[in-house]
Amino acid sequence: MAERERLCMNCMEETPEEGACPHCGFHPSEPQMRQALPYRTVLQGRYLVGRARSCNGEGIAYVGYDTVQREKISLREFFPQTLCGRAEQDGKSVQVIGGSETVFDEYLTSFLSNARAVAHLRDLSAIEQIYDIFEENGTAYAVAEKDESITLRYFVERSGGSLDWNLARQLFMPELNALSQMSANGVRHFGISPDTLVIRKDGKMKLEGFGISAVRRMDTDLQPDLVAGCAALEQYTMDAPVGEPTDVYGFAATLFFALTGSLPQSALKRRSDSRLMIPTSILRTLPPHVATALANALQVQPERRTQTFEQLRDELSAAPTVTAKIEASQPIREIPAPPPRKERQRRGVPGVVWLLGSCVIALAVFSFIGFTWMSSGVQTQDPASSTVQAIVPEGAPLPESSAPSESAAGVAMIDVPNLVGSEYESLLESASSANLAYEILLSEKQFDDTVPEGQIISQSPQAGSKIAPGGTITIVVSLGASSRELPDITNLTLAQASERVTAEGFLPVKEDVYDPLIESGRMVGYRNAESGDTLPYGSQIVILMSIGPDPHAGQ
């Protein structure tokens, strides 16, 4: 017991009884996440519960400590807050909301089944290692080994904003092999993203954050946990089947992020324009077969998409018998820039040189990861690229250009045009057909009640300043108003209503109701809301579907 009292609840390292932890700075007075288990709760007589790290529609994830194995653990608790709450008597037991008992039990069974399926994959080191599953406090828990790691998102940010293909290949291809075996065993993730793929200290990638499929869809009783850009179209559409192609989309979107520094647009928006915009400075560094593989794996419609991880692995490996052509719709288009420098010829290079080169690349990968892990640097720049890659703190103003009208090399500078107020998509359309002397880089999208959705809010450098030919203009694009009106869904089918509500930025949850006037399978309206009501973007809204007249009415 004395050892448990000396452990920091944030990092599980020994710490003084009073004051902040010398290892992580955590202070014991910091409160636990609302509805989470109290600090130092002991489960199964051995697992010490620490600070809650995150929560989603399925439950809560904690850092913990196994007092038997004497090692840190990751602990997941099934605790869907739309269906249950915490008992006030002991602060630990789970109380199911009245009327939700059947649904809670169904999802609890799914949680246990999913955790057991992942636990059976312990021979795959690139997959989260679950080693204990148990029921307690009226719910269930899964215990996993905890590695010292950082998310892929953070790793990419600290690596200058994007990775070159040689580095990304060393990270992603072993993970792709593991995912192929995972899928062969019938296990799905449906939440692959830059936040669930992590980089360990040994330089290898691992997939974490497994959850039940119901939390990765829009049409269930749970708050959905979807990453815009990584979630496939079928995850937004009610009653649409999900499977291995859904995970292929998430993996490909994450690889796209690693190579470009940004995620693809949301699948909902890509229905009308499925193209993938990649700056020319990045696209010209990618082998053609990689661009083709990404285009195939990121097809919006699931039936046109790469169907298996094995097929994606073959395409990324440039296997000539399976590499497919980019669709006629040209889903990947480059943002024009000055013509690339003439590439060096590779013909005639002896095989032994390529072998040595591969070894050097592998060594460089692990050295680079180690340096990134230890380094505190926040900015890098690829001298061969015209795109500056820098980490700017959230909310900080973008740097202004202070370039003179002529560079030191005597190259004439060009005037920066005024892009503020322009339609972003229209700008990309015109850029695809014009030989522009600059590149356009999307920095972020943010809500703005005064600037219509899709229009450019600001740019850097400002209009009228000077940049070198081939330079980059960084822009911020509006997401539109932070509040939206509920659309009319009366008499629509479930799929039609789902599309219309999600297109406005809301998260629909279906509820069946009796209605004598609306045909079964058609929409009645909303629970506690009406079409035309204004709600914050991203709000969860209950949509009501008729199941016909009440058979017990009038009895």
Choices 3.30.10.20, 2.60.260.20, 3.30.230.10, 3.30.2320.50: CATH for 412-481: 3.30.10.20
Residue for token pair 């915009």: 277
Could you tell me if 239 and 219 are in contact, meaning their C-beta atoms sit under 8 angstroms apart? yes
Which residues are paired to 534 by β-bridges?
485
CB-CB neighbours of 543 under 10 Å: 25
> What's the Cα-to-Cα distance from 274 to each of 28, 131, 232, rounded to whole Å?
49, 41, 12
What's the confidence (pLDDT) of residue 359?
A: 47
Report, in this order, helix, strand and coil percent for the chain, each rounded to 5: 25, 25, 50
Q: Which fold has domain 483-546?
A: Trypsin Inhibitor V; Chain A (3.30.10)
Smallest Cα–Cα separation from 95: which of 137, 135, 60, 133?
A: 137
Instruction: Copy the structure tokens of residue 399.
Output: 């740097």
Which tokens in the block code for residue 325?
């052509």
What CATH architecture is 149-335? Answer: Orthogonal Bundle (1.10)
Q: What is the pLDDT of residue 508?
A: 81
* CA neighbor of 293 nearest in space, from 274, 318, 275: 318
Q: What percent of the chain shows pLDDT beyond 70?
A: 81
In this prediction, residue 301 has a pLDDT band, given cuts at 50, 70 and 90, of very high
- Calculate the average pLDDT of the chain: 82
pLDDT in tens, 135-183: 999 999 999 999 889 999 999 999 989 999 999 999 999 999 999 999 9
CA atoms within 13 A on the CB side of 157: 13
Q: Which CATH architecture has domain 2-145?
A: 2-Layer Sandwich (3.30)
pLDDT (tens digit, 9 = 90+) per residue, 105-118?
999 999 999 999 99
Q: What is the pLDDT of residue 555?
A: 67
Q: Which two tokens stand for residue 232?
A: 């496939």
Short-list 284, 242, 282, CA closest to 260:
282
Angle, helices 165-184/309-316, rounded to nearest 10 degrees: 160
pLDDT in tens, 350-381: 444 444 444 445 555 555 555 445 443 333 33
pLDDT value at residue 497: 87
Range from 191-205, 288-302, 310-324, 332-346 carrying the lowest mean pLDDT: 332-346
pTM to 2 decimals? 0.64
Residue 456's φ and ψ, nearest 5 degrees, are: -80, 130
Averaged pLDDT, 381-407: 35
Alpha helices in 185-316 (DSSP H): 244-260, 267-270, 280-283, 288-297, 309-316
So where are the chain's domains? 2-145, 149-335, 412-481, 483-546
Q: Do 412-481 and 483-546 fold alike per CATH?
A: yes
Q: Kindly state the tokens that stand for 229.
A: 């850009």
Using one digit for the tens of pLDDT, what is the confidence trace for 34-65?
A: 899 999 999 999 999 999 999 999 999 999 99
- Per-residue model confidence as pLDDT tens digits over 248-258: 999 999 999 99
| Res. 274 pLDDT band, cuts 50 70 90 | confident
Task: Tell me how far the alpha carbon of residue 159 is from its chain's centroid.
Answer: 18
pLDDT category of residue 407 using cuts at 50, 70 and 90: very low
pLDDT, tens only, 410-445? 568 888 999 999 988 787 766 655 667 787 877 677
Q: How far apart are CA 94 and CA 79, in angstroms?
A: 8
**Residues 305, 298: contact at Cβ < 8 Å?**
yes
Residue-level pLDDT at 483 = 87
Sheet with 439-446: strands ordered across:
439-446, 472-478, 456-460
How far is it between the farthest Cα atoms of the chain?
91
DSSP 126-153: TB--EEEEEEETTEEEEEEE---EEEHH
Rounded CA Rg of the chain: 26
Average pLDDT over residues 295-322: 85
Query: Which of the two residues, 237 and 395, has the higher pLDDT score?
Result: 237
Nearest-5° Cα angle at 265, 470 to 441: 15
How far apart are the C-alpha atoms of 211 and 142, rounded to whole Å? 11
Question: Residue 79 above 90 pLDDT?
Answer: yes
pLDDT at position 221 over 90: no
Structure tokens at 328: 């006629």
Give mean pLDDT, residues 256-284.
86
Residue-level length of the chain: 555
The amino acid at 412: A
Question: What's the pLDDT tens digit per position in 444-463?
Answer: 778 888 998 889 999 988 89
DSSP 226-246: --TTTS-GGGTSTT----HHH
